[in-house]
Amino acid sequence: MENIILIIIAAIFVNNIVLAQFLGICPFLGVSSKINTAAGMGGAVLFVMTLATIITFLIQHYILNPLSLGFLQTITFILVIAALVQMVEIILKKVSPSLYQALGIFLPLITTNCAVLGVAILVIQKQFNLVESVVFAMANAVGFTLALIIFAGIREHLDLMGVPKGMRGIPIALVVAGLLSLAFMGFAGLVK
């Protein structure tokens, strides 16, 4: 139980997937202009990252490792994540059109979100078991969502401020992202 708590704290705060490991920067900058879209993207990432980690973990341990095909890990994981996102999109379109409309734009963005692939690979590198892998994936998705919502809130506030013309948009967003990353570095000594 202690190990699970350490995994959660480390993934959300200490080794935040966006602010410490710099994975998922594209959606972090692209979808963070409004809190509503940031929350929607965070929910979609939570679902897909958890499901993708479970599936890639099982493929790694029950197909790639027994057949000595570990060198195909990255390409296999990319294909699995892309196929998973497509299947989720198709199923949502048929089963819950309202949820599909709510997540519509976020699902294709997740296909190219390197945070999903990064977590799937990190789970294998850290040699987690299945339960630890699921907890790690969910905690990373929560950390991604937390960083995204905080960043979106700051960006919404900046839209109301008198930001100099040359710093509006992406320049000020990058400065804020750097400052947010520094703020999360304050958690560095919490766990290993």
Q: What pLDDT shows up at residue 137? A: 97
Q: What pLDDT shows up at residue 18? A: 93
The answer, yes or no, to whether residue 8 has pLDDT greater than 70, is yes
* Burial annotation 5-40 (CB, 10 A radius, 16+ → b, else e): eebbbbbbbbbbbbbbbebbeebbbebbbebebbeb
Confidence label for 188 from pLDDT (cuts 50, 70 and 90): confident
Which one-letter DSSP state was computed for residue 80?
H
- Give the tens place of pLDDT for each residue, 149-161: 999 999 999 888 8
The answer, yes or no, to whether residue 56 has pLDDT greater than 90, is yes
For the entire predicted model, the pTM comes to 0.89
